Amino acid sequence: MPVITLPDGQRRSFEQPVSVAEVAAAIGPGLARAALAGRVDGRLVDTSFRIERDAKVAIVTDKDSDGIEVIRHSTAHLLAHAVKSLFPSAQVTIGPVIEDGFYYDFAFERPFTPEDIAAIEARMKELARADHAVTRRALPRDEAVAVFQGIGEKYKAEIIAGIPAGEEIGLYGQGDWFDLCRGPHVPSTGKLKAFKLTKVAGAYWRGDSRNEMLQRIYGTAWPEEKSLQDYLHRLEEAEKRDHRRIGRELDLFHFQEEAPGAVFWHPKGWTLFQQLIGYMRERQLAGGYQEVNTPEIMDRTLWVQSGHVEKFGENMFMTQTPDERVYAIKPMNCPGHIQVFNQGLKSYRDLPLRLCEFGKVHRYEPSGALHGLMRVRAYTQDDAHIFCTEEQITAESVAVTHLILSIYRDFGFDDIRIKFSDRPAKRVGSDEIWDRAEAALRAAAEAAGLEMAYNPGEGAFYGPKLEFVLRDAIGRDWQCGTLQVDFNLPGRLGASFVADDSQRHVPVMLHRAMFGSLERFCGILLEHHAGRLPLWLAPTQAVVLNITDRQAAFARQVEESLQNQGLRAEADLRNEKIGFKIREHTLQRVPYLLVVGDREAASQSVAVRTRTGKDLGTLSLDTLLQGLKAEVASRGRVVMEG
């Protein structure tokens, strides 16, 4: 008689072994219809899984993240079933769940065409409507190898052959088709109601370029049609907001093969970049930070001593000089800041010491991973390191978190998620030190009143961290800022201070970044605002447009007045129709278009339009200047349009 304990603490007794589906039915018919899988003592299982002893059981539906993952996993199998149904000679390989969807890799004698993809998706819908029951059976490894070899699926046979001999192999079937899988899966194909195939790409077998090229079909799947359509709308919006497209349209930056993963900033893009630095410099100085600058190239021995070569060496650029000395281009700023700290005797009275740097770092990223400003090899960190005592960790961490959240609000990000990441498998330092560091960071987060998600095993190799994740205008998440507690690197690199007991102690070092990468943050800003940056960030804040040559002198006077007040303005005096000039600068996302004709020149005023097409009427030059300066000072609050 197994006793089942439900998530709300209720207990139900059954007279014989019972399946997850039967538990759901005992609770209610609605839950029985909604059940996709179950969690039995924490393990995710099929609804057909039989429970033979007392257990804690949760019914998984499409309202749960686990349920959505099961839907996507099962839809990947539906894709493979459809491909085999339409193209029997195709061979299936692997089909995992990925963020927002799934993919499946196939070996086929010719490339899949757009018409093929449409036919495959249509066949998937037919198979879903057929509501085939999804069943599981288990085979010994060698028997499973023979089964797949017998039907010509050499890739599946190879996968199974690499599994230890004593392990049980799970096969899932639906209709006349079956596949290798650990599961779990939905009870029947009828549960798969909202999916879409999105693209085809090439992929090497087992990710090795020495192996044959396969075809990878990507798709997305959701619990219901509305979620699918919302997601497809987000994809369309993301395409429109792609920072690479905006960068070309607004002439901000470019990339080229001679410097893969490095940005060529154009004047307007560099203006935006410098606005970020100027803003952050102002906030950091007000927060008690001291700005430093450290070398980009340092001897390899320093990086060996710090532990970076052992833990991070494959991502570092190294160079050897004619005298056979090996140098590393820095991938991080922390060892350099410790060298600054080590100059001169430090006392506990000097702590906390907050050092910051806009440091250029280089990390090797595979060429296939590079993605515009979002994933580069050369980038600038708004890096800071706070040297403090163990007793100062909480106060300093609270100050950092408040500063980070305030800064994000200034850039238009109000929806922030925070993750706590603990010790990774590859790390330096003893477990006792990690225990202290993790406890200190948790205490600081609690003192700051932060709500956190748990991100196990994703800490830095030298300490646990908080990750600050921004949600943008179309619902995408971007991990930007970090705060790490480090009990390891200062001691490895010889840092110490004289405490109030007159003894030398090793300081704790807090690693802190807010933008993370300035290049990436520029990309995030461009996509979040769709290129329509707030006035204080816009490379060109206003453009003065004359209607005829008669107003050229006054247009230049307006341009000069704006520039003298620190505003980024320019005059467009081309002999073009005013409608053409307005349209062109609107497409350039210039916040304010200032039109001057004979009447405006005579009255020393301007006709003001916004990039959204709103007509703000005619304003005196003084009123215009006051309004623009107030909006810049507000960092985001629209004053002129109000």
Q: How far apart are CA 27 and CA 45, in angstroms?
A: 18
Is the backbone of residue 175 left (phi > 0), alpha (psi -120 to 50) or beta?
left
Alpha carbon of 81 to those of 126, 172, 640: distances in Å?
11, 11, 59
Angle, CA of 464, 419 and 467, to the nearest 5°: 65
**Side-chain half-sphere exposure of 478, counting CA atoms within 13 A:** 25
Give the distance, in angstroms, between the CA of residue 141 and the centroid of all CA atoms in the same chain. Answer: 39
**507 in Cβ contact with 491 (< 8 Å):** no
Determine whether 383 is an active site residue: yes
Amino acid identity at 56: K
Angle, CA of 500, 502 and 505, to the nearest 5°: 80
**Side-chain half-sphere exposure of 231, counting CA atoms within 13 A:** 18
Q: Which of 105, 179, 383, 422 is catalytic?
A: 383
Q: How far apart are CA 204 and CA 192, in angstroms?
A: 29
Alpha helices (H) in 383-497, listed in sequence order: 393-410, 431-447, 489-492
Q: Which of 385, 505, 528, 529 is catalytic?
A: 385
Torsion of CA 442, 446, 448, 453, to 10 degrees: 70
Q: How far apart are CA 504 and CA 498, in angstroms?
A: 5
Determine whether 385 is an active site residue: yes
Determine whether 363 is an active site residue: yes
Determine whether 181 is an active site residue: no
Stated as kind and residue range, the H or E segment containing 11 is strand 11-13
Query: 3-class DSSP state for residue 140?
Result: strand
Q: Which of 91, 284, 381, 541 is catalytic?
A: 381
Length of the chain: 642
**406 in Cβ contact with 390 (< 8 Å):** no
DSSP state of 315: G
Q: What is the bridge-based pairing of β-strands 55-60 and 50-51?
A: unpaired
Determine whether 381 is an active site residue: yes
Place of tokens 């179950």: 38
Alpha carbon of 621 to those of 596, 616, 640: distances in Å?
11, 14, 13
Q: Which of 191, 511, 589, 611 is catalytic?
A: 511
Catalytic residue list: 334, 363, 381, 383, 385, 465, 511
